[in-house]
Amino acid sequence: MNVHQETLRRSTHGHGDLQDLTDDVAAVVARSGVKKGLVHVHVIGSTAAIGTIEFEPGLQRDLPTLMDRLIPPHEHYLHEHTWHDGNAHSHLQATLLGASVTVPVRDGLPALGTWQQIVLMECDVRPRQREIVVTVQGV
């Protein structure tokens, strides 16, 4: 079994920024030489998330809007008593969405649907430099 790991770096524009990682992840899979296995994509940090969605303009706005409705930015959160940084909702949104996704690798490619892309969502209130660890394992 092969294990291959690379780190992707992305600059985000702050809260609600959604970025398509699909091509970068597919390139890591290709460099790994794995034809059948798994690719795991994980963002370092507690205020960003990784997931899959159809990466189109409507959903690029809908997902952050939905998250702000579910976990509003200006609610009273106890986290603010500790750090006073205005990003408690960022931590909660990222936790709800999750920091990673695992996708099967089939025929040397991530097994994704036509309208399914791997995305990074920035939940923090400011632009950030993000590290995304991509680990591919298989044969």
Q: Is the pTM of this model over 0.85?
A: yes
Count the neighbouring beta carbons within 10 Å of the beta carbon of residue 73.
Answer: 17
pLDDT band at 80 (very low <50, low <70, confident <90, very high): confident
Percent of the chain predicted with pLDDT > 90 = 94
Predicted pLDDT at 81: 86
Topology of domain 2-75+83-138 in CATH is Jelly Rolls (2.60.120)
Q: What is the pLDDT of residue 75?
A: 82
Write the pLDDT tens digit of every residue in 25-74: 999 999 999 999 999 999 999 999 999 999 999 999 999 999 999 999 98
Residues 6+ apart with CB under 8 A from 8: 21, 24, 25, 28, 131, 132, 134
Phi-psi domain of 37 (left: phi exceeds 0; alpha: psi -120 through 50; beta: other): left
Sheet containing 48-53: order of strands: 18-20, 117-122, 48-53
**Other CB atoms within 10 Å distance of the CB of residue 91:** 18
- Domain positions in the chain: 2-75+83-138
Q: What's the pLDDT band for 83 if we cut at 50, 70, 90?
A: confident
